[in-house]
């Protein structure tokens, strides 16, 4: 996978942006969504040129889901996720802990 590099919006220059967000992970991108919805121009910069195939988070906390719902992106976001019922942690090939979660969806 490769990332797309876009030109700045016509009303901004690459060097005159009120908000600069460092990191195009879930937090940085969500901050950019919120700022844009509020009418604040911003620029997101990311040091990695490739999109990572690995997950950066195991769970979405309740407050995050509330904020996603308030901004209208919760359904789109959760439709791409996987609901987990059990989590197992291993160290040195041995099971060190397990967690069963209720399936409320």
Q: Return the percent helix, strand and coil in the chain, to nearest 5.
A: 25, 20, 55
Q: Is the pLDDT of residue 93 over 60?
A: yes
Task: Give the pLDDT confidence score for residue 44 in this predicted structure.
Answer: 94
Q: Are 41 and 19 in contact (CB under 8 A)?
A: yes
pLDDT digits (tens, 9 = 90+) for 6-42: 555 555 565 667 899 999 888 898 899 889 988 899 9
Higher per-residue confidence, 16 vs 80: 80
């Amino acid at each position: 996978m490769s990332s797309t590099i876009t030109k700045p919006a016509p009303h901004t220059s690459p060097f005159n942006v009120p908000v600069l967000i460092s990191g195009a992970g879930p937090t940085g991108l969500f901050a950019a969504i919120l700022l844009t919805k509020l009418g604040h121009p911003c620029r997101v910069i990311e040091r990695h040129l490739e999109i990572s195939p690995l997950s950066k988070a195991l769970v979405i906390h309740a407050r995050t889901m509330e904020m996603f719902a308030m901004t209208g992106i919760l359904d789109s976001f959760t439709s791409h996720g996987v609901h987990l019922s059990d989590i197992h942690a291993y160290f040195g090939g041995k099971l060190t802990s397990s967690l069963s979660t209720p399936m409320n969806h």
